[in-house]
Structure 1
Amino acid sequence: MIIVTGGAGFIGSNLVKELNRRGRTDIVVVDNLTHGQKALNLTDCIIADYHDKEDFRDLIEADAHLGPVEAVFHMGACSATTEWDGRYIMRNNFAYTRELFHWCQDRRIPFIYASSAAVYGGNDTFREEPAHERPLNAYGYSKLAFDQYLRRHMDSLTAQVVGLRYFNVYGPREGYKGGMASVIHHFSNQLREGNTVRLFEGCDGYADGEQRRDFVDVRDCVNLKLWLLEHPEVNGIYNCGTGRARTFNDMARATIDWFGRGEIEYIPFPDHLKGRYQSYTQADLSQLRAAGCDLEFHDIEDGVRAYLDAVAADQAD
């Protein structure tokens, strides 16, 4: 069986759906459905079992036998970059990951977990090296803390362990995330309600809407995870992005092109994000390519079109 924590979430549910498409239904989903809207991400998926996050943690701490486990994909976490309760975020993001890591190592089970490009903070070099890791928020630090923990154990691994530093992921099944959803989600909602897409004014030396991010299609994130499962010799921490920085204006225009209408409006940059905002990200893929991964990543024009086509098909159903 395959265990997917955060399996009702954005990337997790897309992974479950792709596993189904590849013929796998022996999937155990672990999640927290206090906000039950996430459950809708699994209505078109087939799973073998479900555990609440805390119940699953109890099973892990009790050293329970869960049957033959082929791999654990760990994405369950607090993903809010605006969360400043450090005790809460470290327990959910660092301690939980550490517990699962050791549980998998004790059983020689591959463990592929979600890190984040938030570990890089305001740097302009996005390479998987400590010199470039300076998070701007507690979320980013919680992800960096486990990456550092893994580095201390790399020489004694019993099974595959890979951390993927996701850049700005977008795609279907993210609607439940509210303010943390991708800009495409927000842009498309704005155009359904009116004729204007709203972007932040310039900051950090960038002109209006010209801040740049590495926007990556969730399909590429899922394909990379499954490529790693097929290559158990690959271990370590790797960036998961396209390697191409694009502007928020580019994303807005791609969304406007799909709708066939719309204008861009620039709004004041929020005070609470000043000094805590990544105005530029671009994944360095050299280590991923050196590990043998030759997967191609969608550009935003293809990705946005596929995303909005999928949303429109769901709404038509």
Structure 2
Amino acid sequence: MTISTPLGELHGLPVFDFPGPDSRVALPDAASVAWRLSAPTYSEPDDEPWEPLFDRFLRTVDAGRVRALVVGGWDEAYENSSAPIVAALIGANDRLTALEAVFLGDMTFEDCEISWIQQSDVTPLLAAYPRLLEFGVRGGSELAFPSIHHAGLRSLVVESGGLGAGVVRGIAGSDLPALENLDLWLGSDEYGGDSTVADLEPLLAGTAFPSLRHLGLRNSHIQDEIAAAVANAPVVARLDRLDLSMGTLTDEGGAALLAGGPLTHLAYLGLSHHYLSKEMRERIIDALTPHGVTVDVDDAQQPDENGGVVYRYVAVAE
């Protein structure tokens, strides 16, 4: 699976692509859309780079009423860090005074493969916008997220083909008292996903994020280990939604979930893109759906075998 379409919505607002300088397209009300600002990643000499595009956006739109921003591509994102983008956004915090949501790196595979996107330390951006409610970032390469405090953030999404252990520890160790939704794509060790269950311990223990209701630990090459850890994790008791999809979950992880603490209070359990047998899928469905839990076990995968070695793959890696 690859990411083939850009975001269509952010913060409950439809995404609108800010047009080029010669466009005659009528612009919507500044507060009515999530503005997508994107420059070509494989740029030509006449293309407008991201930073001049952003300057033109601030001059054109009523910046004080902008509620959501989607940063798409930037010049040669497969080589160039997002640090100048982060700095530009921070420098505009006195103008983007109504900003409540940011997604950084909304690129499809045609723009830049997820594992090629060169990110940076994104936490100064959160510090610069204390009113921010939602933050998302795509790409784990060079991504940094040292532990921070943010009083208002409600949703944090990190999409990667491989998320470094330092990033996972930084997020799990952060003080985010309002956080309701956390979605981490942990990825493959072949693309930098070297985190372990131990790195998630503050999160699983329930000592972090007292408002958390929706938890995604997805796209992981150690999905069975995560399922076993989650099965008896104190944090699960207060969740409404648990998403362990997109990874290499097998019957071992499915059995651990069934043998662990109750899951019948959940509204949703996501397990799609998995390696569960038909029998295990039926056991999970039979155990939970009578209690009103929506269980997603779609997209069953078959492992590859070569020379007696079995290979299982996460949904999104490269």
Instruction: Give the TM-score of the pair, scaled to structure 2.
Output: 0.34
Name which structure has the greater RCO, CA cutoff 8 Å, separation 6+.
1
Structure with the greater alpha carbon radius of gyration: 2
Instruction: Give the TM-score of the pair, scaled to structure 1.
Output: 0.34
